[in-house]
Chain A
């Protein structure tokens, strides 16, 4: 069935260290993979996304890698800062979007960056 598994569920790092969150998806037809950051009491905010025709994408301290063969993708945050502390969600698209595709989300990773 449609499923996205996300690990770890919690992650604690020291300020300045790197953080890596991994997701695995089940639908081989998935072609869009966004990552959202949700701070306590706030809406999920898109931080980076990647499409299936790209293997890696970077935006300043954030990068995402995609391995379509293995059906997994990862979020990498370098030089972490206390303001990076939040819950991070990965997601994968299910079905072609112009036919009502939807996003299936992972269970979330609570990242804590200690000063």
Chain B
């Protein structure tokens, strides 16, 4: 099976702009989780979607949002970008009912 894919792989934005990142899970996986990875904070959970419903959310401001489509593909959006949003954004997919998560390659976002 093909692995988790994410697009785009790299993004450069300026403060105040918004950005949308995309994640396609492994075929058959219905759960998609998003994580932010930074050198200082490590891997932090953003949110998790299953069957188009957000089931859990981490401690991030409302500027961070997401959604999941009927084909399980997921997008996350960050509005009003801040310098501190520069990070590697990783998504991970999981089969229904299992905790094992498989990560995508990530989208590296740089906010100037």
Contacts and interface: CB of A to CB of B under 8 A. Distances in A.
- A and B assemble together: yes
Interface of A: 32, 34, 36, 42-46, 49, 89, 91, 93, 95, 97-108
Interface string B100-111: 111111100000
Contact of B48 (A34, A44, A100): A100
B90 interface: yes
A100 B50 contact: yes
A115 to B, nearest CB: 27
B42 A107 contact: yes
A36 B48 CA distance: 19
B interface, over-half SS: strand
B58 to A, nearest CB: 7
A102 B100 contact: no
A54 to B, nearest CB: 14
Contacts of B101: 34, 46, 103
A93 B105 contact: no
Nearest to A44: B103
Contact of A43 (B42, B58, B98, B104): B104
A44 B43 CA distance: 10
B100 A99 contact: no
Contacts of B104: 43
Given A46-B100, A99-B55, A102-B48, 10 more contacts: A34-B99, A43-B103, A89-B43, A98-B97, A99-B56, A102-B45, A103-B101, A104-B45, A105-B42, A108-B43
Contacts of B58: 102
B33 interface: yes
Contact of A102 (B42, B56, B90): B56
The listed residue with most A CB atoms (<10 A of its CB), out of B54, B101, B102, B106, is B101
A108 B97 CA distance: 27
A105 B37 CA distance: 10
Interface string B17-45: 00000000000000001010000001111
Interface in B54-107: 54-56, 58, 90, 97-106
